[in-house]
Amino acid sequence: MKKTKTNLLFAEFINASGYQERILQAIVHYSSLSSDVNVLNLCVRMHGDLFILLTDNILSKNLHLTEENQNPSPKETLHHFQSSMKLVEYLLKMNLHTEYLIKTVTKLINLIYQYAQLLHEEILKKTNLTIDYPRVNLTQMKEPTQKRAVPLFFLDDQSLQIDEFQTPVFSLDFRRIDRCTELIKDGHQKIFEKKYPEALELFLKAANYNATAEVLTLIGWSYSLTGNIPKAREYCLKAIKIDPDFGPPYNDMGNYLLTENRLDESLKWFDLAKKCRNYQHREYPFINAGKAYINKKEFEKALMEFEKALTFTPYNKELTETINRLKSSLKHTTNSVTFLEDAPLQ
């Protein structure tokens, strides 16, 4: 029973730490973020709070940060975070089946998510960068609000209290989950570097460990980026068959039809994507439906779609500018309307 708990906790820890690492990677790579005062302050606070949690609960309270390590740069924060997470990962893999470790790592996961929300919020305010949210398994999500565009993820330790008769449903070997997660993370990095064939290879390997709807959709996305649209469609349909409530493959199918100017067909897929319960970036199908209506010269409908998308991502500057341009164009009854050039596939 405790082994199953540790395995479940390990998967949630990998999700949380991977999400925060993606955020820190983005901050390090974008000078507008790495030099921002709010971002710098949050990085310093997170670094200090993580150190306190680890020393108080896992290491020793006699350890202290030196003065030079009390105000790390974003790059130093990333390196310290990665090292700390490797330590926790090692402890979890040792199968130290204690309630104390489970409670401590749960606290750590929730601390990571608290700072992830604040840092992700700053990224949305200052850039149009898209960062994938963590996969929601046992972790829960508080929906975005008017004040917070980024949802707060959290893990309730009660969610780990699973009856032993139910454990086979959740008892995927954690090494397999770990390897799949690593391959997905590496694949996203290759996408970021525009090395699409390499990304495709990594996602295909990930499917060998755990062929989820997400992994199959990523394979389809990679095929589309290499120009193989028929294969992309094939994997989207496979993903939908596995999890009909997972939104991204519906959106991607609509996108492939949109690029072929099959506008009415694409809109049907975007409508299906909007109805899916499991879709973290809910703005995408609205943005893409707006693009379809632009191509159909139905500008009022396009405006409605873009405005709905903005409710899910209120800090998206590009989308806001598109809405303003579209409103201005409609006022002057011109047929020349500028719109988003590249809405993301997923």
Angle at 57 between CA 11 and CA 59, to 5 degrees: 100
Q: Where are the domains of the chain?
A: 2-169, 172-243, 245-346
pLDDT, position 293: 95
H helices present in 127-262, as ranges: 167-170, 174-192, 196-209, 213-225, 229-242, 248-259
Q: What is the CATH number of domain 172-243?
A: 1.25.40.10
Fold type of domain 245-346: 1.25.40
Q: CA nearest 125: which of 152, 150, 145? A: 150
The closest alpha carbon to 73, from 127, 110, 105, 36, belongs to 36
Q: What are phi and psi of 144, to 5 degrees?
A: -60, 155
Round to whole Å and give the CA distance between 259 and 136: 31
Identity at 44, one-letter amino acid code: V
Q: What is the pLDDT of residue 170?
A: 41
State residue 280's pLDDT score. 77
pLDDT of residue 64: 59
Question: 278 and 245 in contact (C-beta within 8 Å)?
Answer: yes
Over its length of 346 residues, how does the chain's per-residue pLDDT go in tens digits?
A: 445 677 778 888 988 998 999 999 889 988 889 899 999 999 989 988 998 898 888 877 666 555 555 678 899 999 889 989 988 888 887 766 577 888 889 999 999 999 999 999 999 888 888 888 887 778 888 877 767 788 899 988 766 654 444 444 344 455 677 788 889 989 988 998 899 999 999 999 998 888 889 999 999 999 999 999 999 999 999 999 999 989 999 999 999 999 999 999 999 999 999 998 888 788 999 999 999 999 999 999 999 999 999 888 877 888 889 999 998 888 876 445 554 444 444 4
**Which single residue is written with the structure tokens 């899916």?**
276
Q: Is 316 helix (H, G, I), strand (E, B) or coil?
A: coil
DSSP assignment of 5-69 equals HHHHHHHHHHHHHHHHHHHHHHHHH-HHHHT-HHHHHHHHHHHHHHHHHHHHHTS-TT----GGG
Comparing 172-243 with 245-346, is the CATH topology the same? yes
